[in-house]
A and B are shown apart, each in its own frame.
Chain A
């Protein structure tokens, strides 16, 4: 896409999302520039994962528009990379690490799965970039959760997407691996220029990388730099109840926000 102005990797205008009668958020305007890292935060049920499903074309907006790199969002847009939550793969999965990554390149294509030298080189490059070369030929189901999540990042960027969507990719990883996987996402967006929409319930692992934060809560939202959004004042007005944002040693702690269990729609994203 050459031309005067590169369209934003993601553009939402007046977007409103609802599950039946329950409105999750509305009036959402957001432009994500190519190469930008946007963290999506908020309570369970605030519609974070649903936002990703909207971008993936799997959920329709009730109102407004959503465009990915200049074109309306649609199912199976190959310009989007996707990293899901970490879920252990079956130990008997008939894929080695490199085959697993390759599916992100051409897994959607009809026909048999045959060895390919062309895809092999690209897969090798990405494996090296995420530091997975050492276990490239290991069965993917026998790798650790941290290793599998590295491969999921590799799988999501091997097709050189314009937009990378990460849906709680750090869940069930220990802090060490969470930090490594987040750094990896950041390195990949710097390498490829992909924009990143990173859904997480914990802001701390993404704090060093996030250019902006989209905070969803109570049907409202706030967009801004982490320093603008992650304040007691902003979050208190979002939640409509007192919220304390504490900063200590470079970490942010949000206290007093509605606990997930108290929220009526704690099963957001599970459809």
Chain B
């Protein structure tokens, strides 16, 4: 085999015709970016990236199981991720409390998924898609199901946003102020489960973090405003998915490397902006508590 050349990977002829074909994918991507960008802000605030990864693996197992049984893959991955989210949710309020439980459940879910895929005798592209994402055009029923999930998550986030942010950033005071901190934890995990199931359909189980963590982490590099951070995070997530999809169109490579690369570059860019804006000298003000002085 010779070296892979540019034209082996990219072929942008007939781009217009392709674009019409993947209109649904672009809509799905935009919805996913909207949901992922918002959910990501809370994921980072609650220090839950590991739970996202764990949920994605169980979502993969659910999807693979559905593939094997010949039932709807979206429904299967929904069942997997909601089950995972609820399990993680009842295991504890903060990340630290349930990280080891996630570490135990995650490989089990992944192994289960691999087993289901090994037993499945259908198209290999379907198998791979669940793990690494796909560019297979999203059909109308799939787009509708994604839109329904997205609406549920967005409406819930809109209603819960302020107390959820309060409870995530400062649980003790939030509880004293009457925020139902203990109730919000499993409710958010449920929303997270729904968002992960959506993301698995597009970027695949292994790369969900690129949509549910990276955009929010990037936004937090350049702003601390509670109004601007969600907006930037959504913007970065939408640009990553839609941009990644557009790039993947003319290529033989799956969608996920494009999405993850765009998202990663945005993150790097934000770090750079933060570095230029906040010279190290200013950071000397100290992000941590003062040292204890001996009395």
Contacts and interface: CB of A to CB of B under 8 A. Distances in A.
B224 A93 contact: yes
B287 interface: yes
A142 B285 contact: yes
Interface string A178-219: 000000000000000000000000000000000000000000
A109 B159 CA distance: 9
Interface string B174-197: 111111000000000000000000
A contact face: mostly helix, strand, loop, or mixed: loop
B139 interface: no
Contacts of A84: 172-173, 176
B243 interface: no
B158 interface: yes
Contacts of B159: 110-111
Given A96-B225, A104-B177, A112 B172 contact: no
Interface in A78-123: 78, 80, 82, 84, 86, 88-96, 99-100, 103-104, 106-115
A75 B162 CA distance: 18
A175 interface: yes
A108 B174 contact: yes
Interface in B249-295: 283, 285-293, 295
A109 to B, nearest CB: 6
B225 A99 contact: yes
B65 to A, nearest CB: 37
Contacts of B224: 93-96, 138-142
A250 to B, nearest CB: 15
A77 B178 contact: yes
Interface string B189-226: 00000000000000000000000000001011001111
Interface string A56-87: 10100000000000000001111010101010
Contacts of A109: 162-163
Contacts, number: 128
B226 A144 contact: no
Contacts of A139: 224
A107 B287 contact: no
A233 B159 CA distance: 57
B41 interface: yes
A107 B290 contact: no
Interface string B102-131: 000000000000000000000000000000
Contacts of A94: 41, 45, 165, 169, 219-220, 223-226, 229
A104 B176 CA distance: 10
A140 to B, nearest CB: 7
B169 A95 contact: yes
A93 B178 contact: no
* Interface size bracket, A side: 35 or more
Contact of A144 (B45, B176, B178, B290): B290
B170 interface: yes
28 contacts: A56-B176, A78-B177, A84-B176, A88-B287, A88-B288, A89-B169, A92-B44, A94-B45, A94-B224, A94-B226, A95-B169, A95-B226, A107-B163, A107-B166, A107-B177, A108-B163, A108-B166, A110-B160, A111-B162, A112-B161, A113-B161, A113-B162, A113-B165, A113-B226, A115-B227, A145-B288, A172-B289, A174-B292
Interface of B: 41, 44-45, 47, 158-163, 165-166, 169-170, 172-179, 217, 219-220, 223-227, 229, 283, 285-293, 295
Given A96-B225, A108-B177, A145-B289, 20 more contacts: A84-B176, A88-B289, A89-B169, A89-B170, A91-B287, A92-B44, A93-B169, A94-B224, A94-B226, A94-B229, A103-B174, A104-B173, A107-B166, A107-B179, A108-B174, A112-B161, A112-B162, A113-B161, A139-B224, A165-B176
Question: A-B pairs with the 3 shortest C-beta distances?
Answer: A76-B178, A145-B289, A139-B224
Interface of A: 56, 58, 75-78, 80, 82, 84, 86, 88-96, 99-100, 103-104, 106-115, 138-146, 148, 152, 155, 165, 172-175, 177
